[in-house]
Structure 1
Amino acid sequence: MKAVLLNAKGGKLTYGESPIPKIKPEFLRIKVKATSLNPVDYKLITMDFIDWEEYPHILGVDVAGVVDEVGENVEGFQVGDEIFALTNCKEKGPFAEYCLVRADTCTKKPKEMSWEMAASIPCTGLTAWYALVRKFRIEKGKSIFIQAGSGGVGSYAIQIAKAYGCNVITTCSPKNNEYVKNLGADYTIDYHKENVVEKLKEYTNGKGVDYILESVNPNNITTNWEGCNLNGQQLSILGAPEKAQPSYHGFTLHEIIILMGHLMDNLDAQRDLAKMGYEFLELIATGKVKSTVTKKVPFDKLAESLYSMKSGHTIGKIAVMMD
Structure 2
Amino acid sequence: MKAFVVDRYGRKSGIRAGDMPVPDLREDDVLVQIHAAGVNPLDSKIRDGEFKLILPYRLPLILGNDLAGVVVRVGSRVRRFKPGDEVYARPPKDRIGTFAEFIAIKEAAVALKPKALSMEEAASIPLVALTAWQALVEKGQLKKGQKVLIHAGSGGVGTFAIQLAKHLGAIVATTASAANAGLMKQLGADIVIDYKKDDFTAVLKNCDVVLDTQGGNTLERSLRVLKTGGKLIGIAGPPDPDFAKQMGASLFLNTVMRFLSYRIRRAAKRREVTYSFLFMRADGDQLGQIATLIDSGAIRPVIDRIFPFKSTREALAYVETGRSKGKVVIKIR
Distance 2:274 2:24 in 1: 45
Deviation at 1:219, TM superposition (A): 4.3
**1:135-214 equivalences in 2 (<5 Å):** 135-201=139-205, 208-214=206-212
Q: C-alpha deviations, 1:25-67, integer Å up to 9, x for none?
A: 2111110011100000011012222443342x21101111101
2:29 aligned residue: 27
Letter of the 1:223 counterpart: R
Distance 1:248 1:315 in 2: 36
1:82 aligned residue: 86
Residue 300 (1) aligns with residue 302 (2):
no
Range 286-295 or range 233-242, more displaced: 233-242
What is the TM-score of this pair, normalised by structure 1?
0.89
Distance 1:53 1:146 in 2: 35
1:238 aligned residue: 236
**1:126-137 equivalences in 2 (<5 Å):** 126-137=130-141
Q: C-alpha deviations, 1:115-173, integer Å up to 9, x for none?
A: 12221221111100111111112111111111000011111010011111211111111
Distance 1:300 1:92 in 2: 19
Are the counterparts in 2 of residues 218 and 236 from structure 1 also a CA contact under 8 Å?
Answer: no
1:94 aligned residue: 98
Change (3 A) 1:308 1:112: closer
Are the counterparts in 1 of residues 116 and 295 from structure 2 also a CA contact under 8 Å?
Answer: no
Distance 2:122 2:34 in 1: 12
Residue 252 (1) aligns with residue 262 (2):
no
2:329 aligned residue: 319
Distance 2:276 2:59 in 1: 35
SS at match of 2:173: strand
Change (3 A) 1:236 1:248: farther
Distance 2:286 2:74 in 1: 22
1:13 aligned residue: 15
Distance 2:79 2:9 in 1: 36
**1:270-281 equivalences in 2 (<5 Å):** 270=282, 273-281=283-291
Are the counterparts in 2 of residues 59 and 89 from structure 1 also a CA contact under 8 Å?
Answer: no
What is the TM-score of this pair, normalised by structure 2?
0.86
2:126 to 122, 127, 135: 122
Distance 1:120 1:114 in 2: 10
* Count of aligned positions: 304
Q: Gaps (5+ residues) in structure 2?
A: 239-260
Are the counterparts in 2 of residues 86 and 122 from structure 1 also a CA contact under 8 Å?
Answer: yes
**1:264-275 equivalences in 2 (<5 Å):** 270=282, 273-275=283-285
SS at match of 1:281: helix
Q: C-alpha deviations, 1:270-294, integer Å up to 9, x for none?
A: 5xx1111112123223312111222
1:65 aligned residue: 69
SS at match of 1:137: coil
Q: C-alpha deviations, 1:210-246, integer Å up to 9, x for none?
A: 2111111154332221211222221111223561215
Are the counterparts in 1 of residues 116 and 294 from structure 2 also a CA contact under 8 Å?
Answer: no
Letter of the 2:117 counterpart: M
Are the counterparts in 1 of residues 235 and 279 from structure 2 also a CA contact under 8 Å?
Answer: yes
Distance 2:152 2:315 in 1: 20
SS at match of 2:72: strand
Distance 1:149 1:122 in 2: 17
SS at match of 1:40: helix
Identity %: 33
Letter of the 2:177 counterpart: S
Q: C-alpha deviations, 1:286-318, integer Å up to 9, x for none?
A: 312111222211111211110222222221001
Distance 2:63 2:126 in 1: 15
Are the counterparts in 2 of residues 214 and 236 from structure 1 also a CA contact under 8 Å?
Answer: yes
